[in-house]
Amino acid sequence: MRIRMIGAPMDLGADRRGVDIGTSAIRYADINDRLRTLGHSVKDMGNLLIPQPESQPLGNPKLKYLEPIVRVSEELANIVTSILQEGEFPLILGGDHSIALGSI
């Protein structure tokens, strides 16, 4: 399988900071080599640029950081669509659960 890996170090949707380091931790654990050992080809596309919570207005406390989350999700959705159209498998590394918006 041809896999394209995208990092989405998003923590805008989380109540606590820190989940944004998940992309680095997964890469540090040699996911590329492990997938290649299983017979897959892997191309790491790097990380999306995610704004830091401190640089964004909170907005509605029940829908915090909605605008930047939607922006990043739309960008991720476009990338995922492009990868699928090329017959490859998108592997999204996160981040908090809000990245699901751009991956399904």
Digit-coded pLDDT (tens) for 56-73: 888 888 889 999 999 999
Q: Are the C-beta atoms of 18 and 12 separated by less than 8 Å?
A: no
Averaged pLDDT, 69-92: 98
pLDDT given for residue 18 in this prediction: 84
pLDDT tens sequence across 6-33: 999 999 888 778 888 999 999 999 999 9
Judged against a pLDDT cut of 90, whether residue 55 lies above it is answered with: no
pLDDT above 90 (res 1)? yes
Rounded to the nearest 5°, which phi and psi values hold at 88?
-110, 170
Average pLDDT, the chain: 93
